[in-house]
Amino acid sequence: MNAIEVRGLKKSFGTKEVLQEVDLTVERGEIFGFLGRNGAGKSTFIQIMSGITHSTGGTVVLLGKPTDRLDAIKQRIGVMPDTSNLYHDMTARAFLEYMAGLSGVRISKQEVLRLLEQVGLSGTERQKIRSFSFGMKKKISIAQALTGNPELLFLDEPTSGLDPESAIDIQRLLFALKANGKTIFLTSHNLNEIEKICDRVAIMAEGRIVRCGTVASLQEAIGQEIQIHIRTVPRLETSHLPEYARLLSQIDECTRLELTSKEDIPNLLVSLAKQDVKVYEVQIERQSLEEIFLAV
Ligand SMILES: Nc1ncnc2c1ncn2[C@@H]1O[C@H](COP(=O)(O)OP(=O)(O)OP(=O)(O)O)[C@@H](O)[C@H]1O
Ligand SMILES: [Mg+2]
């Protein structure tokens, strides 16, 4: 069973169509990254998934249940929205208990302390949220999403604004949750982070998903470059290798070659070996997610 199945999802604010026709499937146990420029509709999408706002068309099935019956699965879903309505006068502990209560879950003091520890907020249970720093508020928002041990998590920019160490701690937490079988749907503008932690990604532009798949499959689709380092280059006899003559003639001690097909890699290496050219290092330089993103 898929964790998220979205078909033809639409959302308009007045005449503005933010989501035009979004189709998306997220499998159980995946960490799925949702990307798009500011205003692309990522937060709107998460708000629809979690019932904070309504779509203007299409269907959403979460954990096998249509979301028009969200009450039936509310307890199995955790959400960290982009702008959270943190209750500033509450202590961290009271806030987590209250938020758990809203989704019909009672949590023990031990559970509260465990959640605070998980997000790096140990010892803050009696502190008022008003006295939290930006990053601490972010962390308690994540803790809030985890109350009740949900199977499916929607996290809107969970690590933005966190210091690097805290961000890494949260990434580790996400990996641990995945290892426990949870499904995590997140947005982030940190493409290195997305590349590191997500099984699959989708890129939104103009209300639609324009790319979707593993980072490797997106790289594959966009092409690649091969970089070859060579220490000794005997005089190359290129006449019997007409297809590589141009490339081989460019080979120097350390050469960067652009190939058009993946098959050119072994072919070229065989050609070089036949001519006793020693290849000490071959690096396939792939497009980064950033480059793929910017090309959209
Ligand atoms: N309540 C609202 N009323 C009118 N327009 C809205 C409302 N909420 C969002 N929008 C518009 O919908 C579009 C998508 O906003 P959304 O917050 O989903 O973008 P996002 O992809 O999350 O961007 P960011 O990366 O900045 O967080 C924006 O153009 C925004 O102005
Ligand atoms: Mg947003």
Render pLDDT for 102-124 as a digit per residue (tens, 0 to 9): 888 899 999 999 999 999 999 99
Residue 67 belongs to domain spanning:
2-213
CB-based neighbours (< 5 A) of ligand 2, an ion: 42-43, 82
pLDDT of 271 reads: 78
Residue 246 and residue 166 share a domain: no
Indicate if the alpha-carbon torsion angle 124, 126, 128, 129 is positive or negative.
positive
Residue 242 and residue 141 share a domain: no
pLDDT of 183 reads: 98
Q: Which of 213, 242, 260 is the last residue of a domain?
A: 213
pLDDT of 237 reads: 56
pLDDT of 18 reads: 96
Residue 150 and residue 263 share a domain: no
Residue 156 and residue 255 share a domain: no
The stretch 24-43 carries a mean pLDDT of 96
Protein residue whose Cα sits closest to atom 26 of ligand 1: 38
Residue 258 and residue 172 share a domain: no
Domains held by the chain: number: 2
Q: Which atom of ligand 1 is nearest to the CA of 46?
A: 18
Residue 295 covered by a domain: no
Residue 259 and residue 189 share a domain: no
CATH of the domain at 130: 3.40.50.300
Gap from CA of 13 to ligand 1 centroid (Å): 9
Protein residue whose Cα sits closest to atom 8 of ligand 1: 44
- What is the per-residue pLDDT across 263-281, written as a single tens digit (0 to 9) for each? 777 887 887 788 777 777 7
Gap from CA of 236 to ligand 1 centroid (Å): 59
Residue 219 covered by a domain: no
Q: Which atom of ligand 1 is nearest to the CA of 204?
A: 21
Residue 290's pLDDT band, with cuts at 50, 70 and 90, is: confident
Residue 125 and residue 205 share a domain: yes
The answer to which of 87-101, 185-199, 226-240, 252-266 has the lowest mean pLDDT is 226-240
The stretch 198-215 carries a mean pLDDT of 94
**Who wins on pLDDT, 20 or 84?**
20
What residues are in contact with ligand 1 under a 6 Å CB criterion? 13, 18, 36, 38-44, 82
Gap from CA of 38 to ligand 1 centroid (Å): 8
> Which DSSP string corresponds to the chain?
-EEEEEEEEEEEETTEEEEEEEEEEEETT-EEEEEE-TTSSHHHHHHHHTTSS--SEEEEEETTEEGGGGGGTGGGEEEE-SS----TTSBHHHHHHHHHHHTT----HHHHHHHHHHTT-TT-TTSBGGG--HHHHHHHHHHHHHTT--SEEEEESTTTT--HHHHHHHHHHHHHHHHTT-EEEEE-S-HHHHHHH-SEEEEEETTEEEEEE-HHHHHHHH-EEEEEEEEE-PPP--TT-HHHHHHHHT--SEEEE--SSTTHHHHHHHHHHHTTPEEEEEEEEEPPHHHHHHH-
**Who wins on pLDDT, 72 or 192?**
192
Residue 245's pLDDT band, with cuts at 50, 70 and 90, is: low
Q: Which of 162, 191, 213 is the last residue of a domain?
A: 213
Residue 209 and residue 231 share a domain: no
Indicate whether 244 pLDDT > 70: no
Residue 68's pLDDT band, with cuts at 50, 70 and 90, is: confident
Ligand nearest the Cα atom of residue 206: 1
Gap from CA of 12 to ligand 1 centroid (Å): 10
